[in-house]
Amino acid sequence: MTRGVAPAAAVLGVLALTAGGVDASSGGAWTGRSEIRAPREFSGIAWLATAAGGSGGEPQQVFLVCHDARDDYAERDLPRLSIVRTPVGTDGIIVRELDVAFPDVPNDLESIARVPGRDEALLVESNADGTDPDPTIYLARWDEDLDVTIAGAVPWPRTPEPLVNVEATGVVTVRGRDYFVYAERAQGSDTTRVNMTRVRIEESGRIEFGRRWTSVSFTAPEPPDARPASGLDIDGEGNVYISSAYDPGDLGPFDSAVYRAAVVRPGGPVGARLRPVDPPEELARSSGLKVEGVALVDGSFPIFISDDDEDYGGLLRQLRVAGQSGRG
């Protein structure tokens, strides 16, 4: 042993990277390797609450995230939902997987659309490139303890274009009426359409969609060769924020951007109308990450993104938007 240099076992210890952060193990012999467990992929995200944080009183944002597990032999028993809390110290985000009873096994949940002003959200199956024979939209509700239950389910409504693979959904309230907004991820194109119709959600859990739609185009300037709509949320003023993501494979390298893409205003044939932001306003680039979820805190900034970085696992980040007062 070289003088002045301690053995590796004395200075390193075994580290386990968990969803809650990095924990040093106590005792035991050095095994010569590290055990790594990254958080599962975060395919969709919705803000739930702001809670008191650590001893310093830092606020902690709490989110509901969905995981895009498939209804097959390998993934059928995996949790579909988790509660994720922002860090209040050095341990990183805190993830708690949920055991929620669904009326059937969800297949490829890719987005969550929170209903403004209510403790409920739509959990949306993507249709998985047309491979799901009966894609479903579920209604989730939670109580003051953030216990989540499924209150209803309904098949996807008839859409204004063929339903292929949807990763971006939201709900906006205009003059007391709720509207469902979605966009196809449009793999292989830089342009998609943002579509909107009425949605009525009853106390019983019944969900009813309108038959008339209004639509606008959205073209993602960057990143090149991306999926133009991988996540979506809408603020209290009707601004529609969309993420675009480039995904070359399970090991990346990934690339993403977030845009203010459209605006919802009163009027039009369905009671509200969409107007495109032309050109789209780029809020942030996230090079190296595959953003699949966008979530505003209580309908306004700050804005958070969630990532599905495939074999690298999930990630949660607050966007730092330059030049925007109160935007993180």
pLDDT digits (tens, 9 = 90+) for 23-35: 333 333 444 444 5
Q: Is the pTM of this model over 0.75?
A: yes
Segment 6-25 mean pLDDT: 32
In whole angstroms, give the CA distance from residue 63 to residue 112.
11
Q: Which amino acid is at 117?
A: G
Which amino acid, one-letter code, is at 207? I
Q: Supply 161's token pair.
A: 């274009």
Q: What is the pLDDT of residue 145?
A: 95
Domain borders along the chain are 115-318
Residue with tokens 């895009």: 68
Q: Are 287 and 255 in contact (CB under 8 A)?
A: yes
Predicted pLDDT at 248:
84
What band does 36 get if pLDDT is binned at 50, 70 and 90? very low
Q: Which two tokens stand for residue 203?
A: 């106390």
pLDDT in tens, 157-167: 999 999 999 99
Residues 6+ apart with CB under 8 A from 61: 47, 49, 50, 51, 85, 86, 297, 304
Please, which residues bridge with residue 138 across strands?
A: 123, 153
Residues 111-154 have pLDDT tens digits of 999 999 999 999 999 999 988 889 999 999 999 999 999 999 99
**Residue 310 banded pLDDT, cuts 50, 70, 90:** confident
Instruction: Write down the H helix ranges in the chain.
Output: 8-11
Per residue in 169-210, pLDDT (tens digit) is 999 999 999 999 999 999 999 999 999 999 999 999 999 999
**Whole-Å CA distances, 228 to 184, 196, 293:** 8, 17, 13
